[in-house]
Structure 1
Amino acid sequence: MNSAAMYPPSTAPPANMFNSVPGYEGTVAGGGGYLPPPMPMEPVAPPQPGPAPESWTIPSLEEDVAREAFKSFASSHCCYNKAPAKDGVITKMEPFNTYRYRLETFTESRWVTHLSCEIRVPYTSSIKDCHTCHASGTMPCEECNGNGHKPCWVCNGAGTKNGENCTTCNGTGKDNCRVCDGHATKPCTTCNGKRQLLTFIQLKVEWTNHVDDHLVQQDSGLNVDDLRSVSGKELFKNNNYLIYPLLGFPSAAIGEASDRLIKEHQSKFAQNSRILQQRQRVELIPITKVNYKWKSDTHVYFVYGNEHQVSADNYPATCCCVVQ
């Protein structure tokens, strides 16, 4: 008789294994369960900015500062001749300051896993019968299909060879399974033969800071992507667990961006994460368009941000460098 028939097939952990743990009802054993966040809080209305005071304006960039920024820009490019930055004559400087609204939402996401030997959630441990071996502690040996023996490799199970009893199997035609040592079973690999399992909930926590920017369009001609890496003069900032859209700002585009981005973050993150904190800021980013002459031709470059970064897409004196 095949002893494998004595063992019922193994099963997965019961889906409702942790239904008795408060706060983890419906968690699926085996991992991947999502732990829903608590009810969302009401957003808190921040102090709203009034009319733009004179202190919000950024002083015009001085010509010497613009020239030094241009020289540093040219020196940082090995293929740029330094002459245009050094000898070019500045003819006009135009300010094109712009607003940037930035929303940050700091979230916590949680997942649960089970039957792990890592850090566990306190007070969720319990002892369960092993679902693989049904608390028997053993499973049929796969090598011999639970028989404890295999056909003799010398006589192929015939018991005789060349008309005589096989000396290897003493005429039985059987050879003890070397994997299970003839016992037909092996210790269960899930519970290591202990028949029971220590089960608990393991929690994975992930913190993420989601950041979105909105830059008010400006007519300087500078690529808006260049502005993402620089800072400006901070005009307004507030943070709370949940924030309220910005109202009454002198630029209507900033108020619209605040309302839109806050709604987007709520829609994206509140369903699958717990929002721990939000922050909104408004900056005034300085942009100066510099017109200059070099060798009787007129050219343009931009100086922008508190860092005085430079953009000059059509630098008039470049060469091709080949590194071998």
Structure 2
Amino acid sequence: MQLPQELTICLGAPVCDTGATVMEQGANSDHSAQSGPRDRSPQTYRNVVITDQMAADAIQRYVSSRFCCSSSTGEELVIKELTQIPLYRYRLESFTETRHNEKTSKPYTGQRIDGPDRGDPPQLWDIVVQTPNMFHEGSKRLPLPHSAVVKECHKCQGRKRCKCTGCGGSGQFRCRCSSRQRSKNKRCHACSGSGRRRCSKCSGRGRKVCASCKGEGRLLHYQQLNVSWKTLQSEFLSKPPAQESTFPLSLLQKVSGEVILKDDDMMLHPPATSAESSETANAFETVFQDHRKSCGSSCHILRQRKTVEVIPVARVQYEYRGQILSSHVYGREHRVYAKRNPNVLFCGCSVM
């Protein structure tokens, strides 16, 4: 049985001759709200059909890697029936920007103060922040205009130095030399027999430069705007036909397919049921709502991207050593799934 090397994806056509469900060809990746109408002409996509030869080679590799078989396995394996059951992976990505303010401070070294006397601090989303490339995550921190004020350092009360926490301000601490050493008149090299050692943290001064103000005595308090960009991503797979319900969909997470639709815009809308099945439309609607709920008043969706990928899957019935067997070949990597390992594949030798 010979199958075509290519699969044509055309708008509105429910089934192609190969048995593969077809889908609408959408806009390309740089489509925007201001662009013209989408190109809805039929498109041809390669690598979405598994041929007899592809299936035979994949099963031969699978058998050879798991069982003790001779090199003639490929000659003994004959494809009897191959049914295309391509499945689809749907992905929605939402590129979000999140903003929030937090109080912070730094040592005041005489720099210009942008305080409330210059005006009221702007609202959270009134500040213009340069956005990175879409769907590239990152973060940025910048001071909120007109929010700065200078105050005395709360830790050292403006003294610029604080009591050393290592020695409690005494500049020394008890040496750990043992009483046995002292009873034998053995002088400790660390304390020279005095029993007290100079604190190394403050060099014996008892006070250290304030860690908060770095010895300046004053702090510049201000509001800091924290901006982060992240991509929310959700994906789901189309369900196989009822007769293929035993095929584990989790296997498709480890293989690739071919992208047949990629659409991105400022804000996408759930697909219409006329273009896709009602089950797919409902799943997309749920994903859209989940992304919107994830973004509250402090988070905005800047752009969304929808991707549809077709993953080739084929059920293969083949004859091997006089028995009719069945397996699935899936993904562009042509991996093989066999629900049961047939006894006919064993050659009688033990595998350690």
TM surpasses 0.5: yes
2:319 pairs with 1:293: yes
User: For 1:320 and 1:110, how far apart are their aligned partners in 2?
Assistant: 63
TM superposition shift of 1:279: 1.4
- Secondary structure of 1:73's aligned partner: helix
What is the letter of the counterpart of residue 249 of structure 1?
Answer: A
Query: Which ranges of structure 2 fall in alignment gaps of 5 or more residues?
Result: 1-9, 17-21, 24-44, 108-139, 176-195
2:66 pairs with 1:105: no
Please tell me whether the aligned partners of residues 257 and 312 of structure 2 are also in contact (alpha carbons under 8 angstroms).
yes
TM superposition shift of 1:302: 0.9
| Total equivalences in the alignment | 250
- Alignment equivalent of 2:156, drawn from 110, 115, 133: 133
The answer for the alignment partner of 1:21 in structure 2 is: none
TM superposition shift of 1:290: 0.7
- Alignment equivalent of 2:219, drawn from 197, 208, 214: 197
Please tell me whether the aligned partners of residues 289 and 300 of structure 1 are also in contact (alpha carbons under 8 angstroms).
yes
The answer for the alignment partner of 2:117 in structure 1 is: none
What is the letter of the counterpart of residue 59 of structure 2?
Answer: F
- Could you say which structure has the larger radius of gyration? 1
State the Cα deviation string for residues 22-56 of structure 1 (Å, max 9, x = none).
xxxxxxxxxxxxxxxxxxxxxxxxxxx96236773
TM superposition shift of 1:244: 0.4
Query: Which ranges of structure 1 fall in alignment gaps of 5 or more residues?
Result: 1-48, 154-174
2:325 pairs with 1:302: no
What is the letter of the counterpart of residue 58 of structure 2?
Answer: A
User: For 2:326 and 2:66, how far apart are their aligned partners in 1?
Assistant: 20
2:90 pairs with 1:65: no
- Alignment equivalent of 1:121, drawn from 117, 126, 142: 142
Task: Call closer, same or farther: CA 1:270–1:237 in 2, change over 3 Å.
Answer: farther
- Secondary structure of 2:235's aligned partner: strand
2:245 pairs with 1:241: no
Task: Call closer, same or farther: CA 1:306–1:251 in 2, change over 3 Å.
Answer: farther
Please tell me whether the aligned partners of residues 71 and 86 of structure 1 are also in contact (alpha carbons under 8 angstroms).
no
User: For 1:301 and 1:290, how far apart are their aligned partners in 2?
Assistant: 5
TM superposition shift of 1:145: 6.0
State the Cα deviation string for residues 197-256 of structure 1 (Å, max 9, x = none).
245537363533523223223332321112223344544332112210000224222111
Task: Call closer, same or farther: CA 1:278–1:187 in 2, change over 3 Å.
Answer: same
2:271 pairs with 1:224: no
TM superposition shift of 1:295: 2.6
The answer for the alignment partner of 1:279 in structure 2 is: 305
**Aligned CA-pair RMSD:** 4.1
Task: Call closer, same or farther: CA 1:92–1:53 in 2, change over 3 Å.
Answer: closer
Task: Call closer, same or farther: CA 1:79–1:110 in 2, change over 3 Å.
Answer: farther
TM superposition shift of 1:292: 1.6
Please tell me whether the aligned partners of residues 152 and 218 of structure 2 are also in contact (alpha carbons under 8 angstroms).
yes
- Alignment equivalent of 1:52, drawn from 13, 20, 24: 13
User: For 1:271 and 1:231, how far apart are their aligned partners in 2?
Assistant: 37
The answer for the alignment partner of 1:258 in structure 2 is: 284
- Secondary structure of 1:52's aligned partner: coil
- Secondary structure of 2:142's aligned partner: coil
TM superposition shift of 1:264: 1.3
User: For 2:256 and 2:51, how far apart are their aligned partners in 1?
Assistant: 19
User: For 1:307 and 1:65, how far apart are their aligned partners in 2?
Assistant: 10
Task: Call closer, same or farther: CA 1:101–1:307 in 2, change over 3 Å.
Answer: same
TM superposition shift of 1:263: 0.9
- Alignment equivalent of 1:213, drawn from 210, 233, 236: 236
Query: What is the aligned-residue identity percentage?
Result: 26
Task: Call closer, same or farther: CA 1:202–1:195 in 2, change over 3 Å.
Answer: farther
Please tell me whether the aligned partners of residues 141 and 227 of structure 2 are also in contact (alpha carbons under 8 angstroms).
no
TM superposition shift of 1:188: 2.6
Q: What TM-score comes out, normalization by structure 2 length?
A: 0.56
State the Cα deviation string for residues 65-88 of structure 1 (Å, max 9, x = none).
21122223345x365636655522
Please tell me whether the aligned partners of residues 167 and 199 of structure 2 are also in contact (alpha carbons under 8 angstroms).
no
